[in-house]
Structure 1
């Protein structure tokens, strides 16, 4: 038995108007194509970054910086210095061409590694404040702390009488002072090692301390900040 399908029952299809292309789904971008686009974009960003850096570096110049810590009173050496690039005009910084002005000078404050060298932080010698004096003490190892002394340490200078001069529980004479320079080593005529420590004291106390030191009757005690 044959079933006849009429035109009204047949499935309908939509025909595109003549002369127009049939609509299709947008093709996916191949993965290789995507990688190429990403690479081009990355190069563009890199180029922009380099251009920005180049703009930022315009007008930069080299100044002196500290490679090592240099404490107050220490001599600044060639090995302590390096260069640092800065932007714009920085008159307080020391231009790298002035290196000879800094090498051999004394640090006027504690200079930290990584920081630029600035005007006023170095000088040919340490200044002596008004009303103060610098006294050099000649000390045997037993008359000073075993701990290394640094400029700025607060100390007491003691009269250390010996033998019959030591009177029982009599209070020892002491004078407050501040370490001005690292101890340096020297030797006497018999080859015994001594340390020379520069201290800063009141001007009125300087002659008495110098007399104690010359007689070999001086000791040094390191005190805390408080």
Structure 2
């Protein structure tokens, strides 16, 4: 009895290398819900907004005071010595807001002020630089009686004074008198002659004699080594 022969597959006789390859549809994957899509959109928008706010904050400019003219330590700060500018400040930088300009004018510079630099609170003081128990003496010095090393307010120096030729023979032959002084202000160099006025604070009672000898030009300044030796 003959049996019914089953039909051969459609791929029978087709070479192996060109047989169709079974594919898997991607549609069978899990679809995201509308709620998840909305949450993703909110997170992306929030990140972009936060980045913009951070950029806006770092780019914020603050009006501050800057130095417009040279001001020696101890000098009174005048209106023309200050200018206003707007800068992006690092939190570590301490500057004086421009709105406090009127309060700064009339105070003294605690340190030499250089044009173009930001003005910080520590550079300004409302105290005189002469302490209790001191006297302030101004001495005019020729270049040969002053070290070439630049002096600044706060430096400690030795002021050497001699009686001079006008004094008596015994006094003229006396040893030079030395007094320790603290530099309060260094004046500008004179255009003719190069003299420079130095304001120094000396112990009370030593000021009159030093001033008298300075008036005769019989003083010089000696700078000690940094370790005091």
Identify the TM-score tier after normalising by the shorter chain: 0.5 to 0.7
Q: How many residues are treated as equivalent by the alignment?
A: 192
Offset of residue 106 of structure 1: 2.2
- Counterpart of 1:223? 224
* Residue 125 (structure 2) aligned to one of 122, 125, 129: 122
RMSD between aligned alpha carbons? 4.7
Q: If the length of structure 2 is used for normalisation, what is the TM-score? A: 0.59
- Counterpart of 2:37? none
1:42-100 Cα deviation digits (max 9, x unpaired): 99966541133446789x85343568997643555636764455699xxx964312224
Once residues 85 and 175 of structure 2 are traced to their aligned partners in structure 1, the CA distance between those partners, rounded to angstroms, is 52
- Counterpart of 1:195? 196
* Residue 95 (structure 1) aligned to one of 78, 94, 97: 97
For structure 2, list consecutive stretches of 5 or more residues without a partner in the other structure: 13-18, 28-43
Is the contact made by 2:141 and 2:219 (CA closer than 8 Å) also made in structure 1? yes
For structure 1, list consecutive stretches of 5 or more residues without a partner in the other structure: 17-21, 27-41
Is the contact made by 2:72 and 2:185 (CA closer than 8 Å) also made in structure 1? no
Once residues 79 and 120 of structure 1 are traced to their aligned partners in structure 2, the CA distance between those partners, rounded to angstroms, is 13
Measured at CA, do residues 7 and 194 of structure 1 come closer, stay the same or move farther in structure 2, by a change above 3 Å? same
Once residues 119 and 142 of structure 2 are traced to their aligned partners in structure 1, the CA distance between those partners, rounded to angstroms, is 38
- Counterpart of 1:178? 182
Is the contact made by 1:145 and 1:221 (CA closer than 8 Å) also made in structure 2? yes
Q: If the length of structure 1 is used for normalisation, what is the TM-score? A: 0.60
Is the contact made by 1:62 and 1:85 (CA closer than 8 Å) also made in structure 2? no
Structure-to-structure mapping, 1:21-60, within 5 angstroms: 23-24=24-25, 48-54=50-56
* Residue 149 (structure 1) aligned to one of 144, 148, 151: 151
